[in-house]
Amino acid sequence: MCLNLFNQKAKAWDKKPNRLVLAEKFAKCIRQSVVKQGFSTAFEYGCGTGNVSLYLQDCFDKVVLADSSIGMIDEAQRKIEAQNIQHFYPKLLDLEKEDYPYSFDAIYTLMTLHHVKDVSYVIRKLSKMLNLGGMLFIGDLVPEDGDFHSYPENQEVHYGFNKSFIDDLFKQNNLKTIKYHVFHEITKEHTGISKVYPIFTANAIKIQ
């Protein structure tokens, strides 16, 4: 993962309105599923500056916001303190390198997995962190042609994930797919051409 890049971009991250729109729409997808479940604890992996969790702050009694970028965690901490949110706990964490020995009712991650080198390994860890009957939510790129990221940054990312790949990951990790659908589109200019990149959300329930 391009940690230096994320550290450099952290302070200006929220200046792009489309990122806030994406976070809010993903949070709405999560809210629709958890509001009736009575979940009390949540874990966000790849929290960035904390926008998704901020939109969900009334849904849980405790939320751990984890990211491997100290710059992003610092920005999330700043916003948490500014809003005097008492039940949010920022955590500098890279699940590819370390474990986090706690369990949660809901886990969510937005636009993070395509930056993870070993996606299967991280999904396995996230599943182990879920309580039985808990739910995992993923928001990420539908397979694209590799132009979503700038070069050479895109050499360190996956070019999105299709439904069959996500379904297989879930099955391998005691998760049952509930839904996979496109909920947002991002338009970006690349070499003078405007391209549209669909973003999917997939959620699953821990079955054993």
Convert the pLDDT of each residue in 49-105 to its tens digit.
999 999 999 999 999 999 999 999 999 999 999 999 999 999 999 999 999 999 999
pLDDT above 80: residue 38: yes
With respect to residue 170, please indicate whether it lies within any of the assigned structural domains. yes
- State the pLDDT at residue 193: 85
- Which residues constitute the domain of residue 111? 3-9+16-187+198-206
Q: Is the pLDDT of residue 1 over 60?
A: no
More confident residue, 190 or 4: 190
Q: What is the mean pLDDT of residues 168-190?
A: 95
Give the closest residue to 63 by CA, choosing from 37, 36, 83, 44.
44
Tell me if 36 is assigned to some domain: yes
Domain assignment present for residue 97? The answer is yes
Residue 192 placed within a domain: no
- The pLDDT of residue 46: 96
pLDDT bucket at 192, cuts 50 / 70 / 90 = confident
| pLDDT greater than 80 at residue 175 | yes
Domains contained in the chain, number? 1
Give tens-digit pLDDT for 105-153: 999 999 999 999 999 999 999 999 999 999 999 999 999 988 887 755 6
Residue 168 lies in a domain: yes
CATH number at residue 112: 3.40.50.150
What is the Cα–Cα distance from 74 to 94, expressed in whole angstroms? 15
Task: Residue 115: name the closest of 78, 82, 76, 67 by CA.
Answer: 67
Q: Is 19 helix (H, G, I), strand (E, B) or coil?
A: helix
List, in sequence order, the alpha helices (H) in the chain. 3-9, 17-34, 51-55, 70-82, 119-128, 163-172
The answer to whether position 193 is within a domain reads no
The 8 Å CB, 24+ separation contacts for 86-90 are: 87/57, 87/60, 87/61, 87/62, 87/63, 88/50, 88/53, 88/57, 88/63, 89/62, 89/63, 89/64, 89/65, 90/47, 90/50, 90/64, 90/65, 90/66
Could you give the count of Cα atoms lying within 13 Å of 72 in the half-sphere of its Cβ?
25
Q: Is 158 contained in some domain?
A: yes
pTM equals: 0.93
> What is the number of other CB atoms lying within 10 angstroms of the CB of residue 39?
19
- More confidently predicted of 24 and 147: 24
Residue 101 resides in a domain? yes
